[in-house]
Amino acid sequence: MTLASRKKSTPSRAAGADWSPESWRQKAAAQQAEYPDPAELARVVAELGALPPLVHYREIEALKHGLARAAEGKVLVLQGGDCAESFKECGSDTILAKLTALLQTSLILRHGTGIPVLCLGRLAGQYAKPRSAPTETRDGVTLPSYRGDIINRIEFTRAGRVPDPSLLLRGYERSALTLNFVRTLAAWSFTDLHGIMDWQPALAGNSVHLRELTRILAEVKREMAVMDDDAGRIGFYTSHEMLAFDYDLAQTRHIPGKGWYNLTTHLPWIGVRTNAPDGAHVEYCRGIRNPIGIKVGPDTTPECLTELLEILHPDNEPGRMVLIHRFGASRIADRLGALIEAVRATGKSVIWLSDPMHGNTETTESGVKTRHFDRILAEVTEAFRIHHELGSVLGGVHLELTGENVTECIGGATRLAAKDLGRDYRSKVDPRLNYAQSMEMALEIALQVNRTRRPEKGRRDRPAMWRPFWSRGGALATGLGAGGCEK
């Protein structure tokens, strides 16, 4: 049986008579662009609203079913992808590299832990980013901050930084192109995708971790040739941070007998800068049927989190609420436990994910943003330990990663140092784990899962293979139109 739920979906109590897709306008909306021509913005939103949805509501319901299993510890969730997508990089090679990195990471986690993996790509819509300040100053010139390709342009010019409604349409088109290509890839059989298990040994350096990775990937590749009829599936879905309200609103549709859905993505999430219980983001999300992600961090109080759950999760619907915690390696031990206890006191079921990226961003002496692999790993390790000791389930991880050999994060088996960052630094906003660092992190996460959930397998010498995890016909099962998901 796949993750496609046969259970009937009923409208949530959160979407009461006082809610509508427009009711968020009565609330304070943080991190929103100010468009100079409201009439043009309205025209673009109307055009977007007449276009076909990017995802189907049944895919969204299937995702909720998979997330419900993650809350029980029966599935691992890997949410990953770019910090911010770029229109210019919406090419087949770039998309394939992202998908390959996500799938290989999933395969390593699945192989190493024996637990099915559900993939949530930061993909096909992650074109907006929150900013710490509304303006940016260079050489005495102050302009609006770059807020992502779907809002304005990165070029530091007055014309480029003006929010442009036409970019909303371009974001929709780029997202549709990305989804179409991913659906095409998902339709291939794994016998045609043997190349997805091929990786570049030159990236491994002289690391015992990545030598083990080579062995594991070779082992998985051999098993692909003997897929059995009892094999399962890998679920793949999309997600993005909800920042361009007009974009999301245009594709918010009512499904008779079901309720309202945001059909730009499977899972929208609310960031730490926009998670105020009385804010517009929470108001909008309380009325839609999608699973909702909420980022929580050092400044999130137990009382605030309890209030968020009361607003967004009144029915305690399995698979509805994803809490993504981001603290920083030095702060997680002091802050996470109180939030876990607060959620437990509500009696509500949630899916916990660890985001070890955003709390560990630092700036080098030369002014370059980076993250250290060891600090990222330290936060993941602490997250698994704290959840385990408090009797909670850490359902997965949220990573910013790429399938390319960029030089944005330091450390790891490839021993990148601050002096190496200029070699191939591409991110417009935040640094990502490169391909080799992503693979190594997957090994480390598998080890943490085994130590906390399967103590008898918490050793590095031989990750256990539970059973093959490819679909009956050899195809990648995906929420993107395949009708199935991971088992």
Q: What pLDDT shows up at residue 8? A: 45
* Domains detected in the chain: 38-457 (3.20.20.70)
Burial 116-125 (b: 16+ CB within 10 A, else e): bbbbbbbbbb
Lowest mean pLDDT segment, chosen from 6-20, 126-140, 233-247, 250-264: 6-20
| DSSP letter, residue 78 | E
Tell me the average pLDDT of the chain.
86
**Average pLDDT for 375-390:** 98
pLDDT bracket for residue 471 (50, 70, 90): very low
**Average pLDDT for 349-365:** 97
Asked whether the predicted pLDDT for residue 476 surpasses 50, the reply is: no
Check residues 401 and 454 and name the one with the higher pLDDT. 401
Question: In the block, which residue shows the tokens 């090679």?
Answer: 93
Q: How many residues does the chain have?
A: 487
Classify the phi-psi angles of 153: left when phi > 0, otherwise alpha if psi is within -120 to 50, otherwise beta.
Answer: beta
Asked whether the predicted pLDDT for residue 470 surpasses 50, the reply is: no
Q: What pLDDT shows up at residue 10? A: 53
Q: Which two tokens stand for residue 262?
A: 């945001």
**Average pLDDT for 225-248:** 74
For residues 314 and 146, give the distance between their C-alpha atoms in angstroms, rounded to a whole number.
Answer: 36
Question: In the block, which residue shows the tokens 């590095």?
Answer: 460
Q: Which two tokens stand for residue 352?
A: 């916990």
For residues 297 and 327, give the distance between their C-alpha atoms in angstroms, rounded to a whole number.
Answer: 5
Among candidate residues 194, 169, 311, the one with its CA nearest the CA of residue 244: 169
**Do 115 and 448 touch, CB atoms closer than 8 A?**
no
Q: What pLDDT shows up at residue 353? A: 98
Check residues 17 and 455 and name the one with the higher pLDDT. 17
**100 to each of 85, 94, 476, how far by Cα in Å?**
16, 10, 12
Q: What pLDDT shows up at residue 3? A: 30
Convert the pLDDT of each residue in 30-81 to its tens digit: 999 999 999 999 999 999 999 999 999 999 999 999 999 999 999 999 999 9
| DSSP letter, residue 482 | S
Asked whether the predicted pLDDT for residue 455 surpasses 90, the reply is: no
Convert the pLDDT of each residue in 403-439 to its tens digit: 888 999 999 877 899 999 999 999 988 999 998 899 8
Q: What pLDDT shows up at residue 355? A: 98
Percent with pLDDT over 70 in the chain: 81
Lowest mean pLDDT segment, chosen from 4-13, 199-208, 306-315: 4-13
Convert the pLDDT of each residue in 168-181 to its tens digit: 999 999 999 999 99
Check residues 218 and 394 and name the one with the higher pLDDT. 394
Lowest mean pLDDT segment, chosen from 32-36, 140-144, 345-349, 449-453: 449-453
**Average pLDDT for 324-336:** 98
- pTM check: above 0.85: yes
Helix (H) or strand (E) holding 441: helix 435-452
For residues 435 and 121, give the distance between their C-alpha atoms in angstroms, rounded to a whole number.
Answer: 15
For residues 203 and 482, give the distance between their C-alpha atoms in angstroms, rounded to a whole number.
Answer: 33
